[in-house]
Structure 1
Amino acid sequence: MLYAFELSGEHPLIPAAEVLSVLTSRGLEYSVSENYLSCLVVDIFSNDPKVTDEDIFLMMRNEMPDILAMTHAISKVIDITDVDEKQILSAAERFFAADYLKDGETFVVRAKRLGDNSVLKSVDLEGKIGGRIYRQGFRASLKNADVTFRLTLTDKAVFGVLAAAVDRGAYEHRSPQKKPFFYPGVLMPRVARALSNIAGAQKDAVVVDPFCGTAGILLEAGLLGAKAIGVDAQEKIIIGATANMNGYAQSTGQLLSKEERENGFDPIQYDLFVGDACGLPFEDEIADAIITDPPYGRSAAIKAESLERLYDESFKEMFRVLKPGKKAVVVSEIEVEGFAGGAGFEIENIYKQRVHKSLTRTITVLKKA
């Protein structure tokens, strides 16, 4: 079954990589059908005969909105045409609304432009498509519709039924300056969540961050249900990271009240340690994923003799504690392929993210064979 994911414009590649990684980690098979401007169309299925198309739709509707950070909306595809009014309306004539609407249910049509599609007026199309559905015997409701039909205008016109819209504003509630402990220069929550998904963080997975800082990455991994384990060289940072991990409800990602924190309400699973990333206090192969943002400058409080030694030994430690077949995602200002290869990792992907004029992040996705 085809699904369309409307992607954010935060990066040309990472949003799609996040979607595909989540599908894989949740046991679904997929084939990329089309990769349009800010819209990824994927054929999603399962090799498990117990998992039906309806099960997959419910997963897209109920689970994915709370998982994905760089997706705006998910639709089950009905038809794909050229961005041409006649073709779009012809598609609206061909489909059977009763396949998507039950007796008595109401509908609404919403159109979304991605890129320059000003040649077509979204409001006119919404009304014209709605008219065709109305003539099949169903009532429209602009405010409280049971089913939303969505027309996504990108390189093509993707017509479908909306499975879910993602509340990306929820991540703003966890922006660094709003957390119980703030320290500048950390990853924004949406980036941390996307990287957690790419690494394979999910319920009951053990996720390790050997340079955890204020636990921004571990918080997002923990909200996915993972057991978050972090190490940092500075005790004061670990104290702040503890406050951050205790500050949010695992099930909602919302900031807890003082009373809820004191009573241990809906806690995230985590362990934090003061320690050295060059000698992690863990047994071999305990991690299902590693996600980390190591220090770059001379002022970083590290126990290594040099930044080169820090990277060399910490990558060897990451390789040691990671399970075979699992991923590590490393954010850096420098190229790390040499350190990663020397430790035994395979390079899966490298993404560049321009933060501002003087800072470009390199995000390196590694795999332990």
Structure 2
Amino acid sequence: MRPEFVSMVETDFFNGTDKHFFHVCTDGSALAWLFKDEHDYIKGINCIAICTLTTGATVVSYVLMDNHVHFVLQGTMPACKNFINRFKHLIGKYISYRYSIKGYLRGLPTRIIPIRDEEYLLSVLAYIDRNPIVAGYRSLPNEYRWGSARFLFRENISGNGNCSWGKDCIPDNTFLNGKKSNIITPVSPKRNSSSTNSNSNPNRNGITTNSNGNSRYTSGEFSTTITMLQARQRRKILGTHINFPQYWTIDADGMIDPTCFIASGIQENLFKTPARYLYFLSRKLEGEIDSSIYSSTKSFIPDKELRYIISRMARELFNCNDVRIMDIPSRLALARKLRYEYASSQKQIARMLRLNLEILKGYV
């Protein structure tokens, strides 16, 4: 079913219950690096998979760049905010462990931008897929290993939250590095490239190729189902105790197959045809989208919408219809929810809740 877009008069993007599309990204100018090598990128992909299972947000599109990330998520605003916060937490924990850098992602600016119409959604989706080109990678978006573009409009690739080939099509026997096996051996983060499979060579653009030079974007190559791994081994590779769907698979590099969690079918339904997708992909969208990202740094929820949210929260939490008569502790409790669930700025919260800004800064 194609998603429908309605005006703000008919729906509220920020009520915390309705599902909508959001462009979620981190600031590319805030960090020198986010992913340094193949192992870092694989960890990033696995963190996306974990976040889809633990937050309720649907990943429609993604791209991991060396110093920032972009997502189009579908879900409630709190779920999408929880997704990016958990993603940053997992990556930050990994960086702390591997590189001995604590708090590296602390304070990393994040944008969560509501998408209000279909035309803009198509532009954002194409903008995300254009990132490797704009960054100077010598590959087409559908060859970039760390983005979702490689799963669009391909035969037998129709990700909708399940593995593309379906639960019943998983082969009985799994082969890892050419050997029949029911388990997978994790690769060392610092392994020498010469020790990898001779038929698979990562090039300098982050594209994994086989011996004949073709990009390895075929799902399921040398893969096994995650549930076939022993619990201890699964925790060692993926760093989590959560349970995975029984049809989700992981490859010989220790990366979860993105077709298990990427909802590429939504994107295909929006673009309708490959020709229309290529049309948007050919447009220089950076000025339009970058401007939207920049303007979102102020406060993307207008006061009018935030006033409605505050009134609803006050009624639900404190059985009060007028914020002006609420005591300070109650208003501070509202302030925390506005800050962490709706990403409102401290100045906007202070203004809307009639709180002293300096006091508020020490609380949220």
Report the TM-score range of the alignment, normalised by the length of the smaller protein: under 0.3
Structure with greater helix percent:
2
State the structure with bigger RCO (CA 8 A, min sep 6), 1 or 2. Answer: 2
TM-score normalised to structure 1 length: 0.23
What TM-score does the superposition give when structure 2 sets the normalisation length? Answer: 0.24
Structure with higher Rg: it is 1
Judging by fraction of residues, say which structure has more strand.
Answer: 1
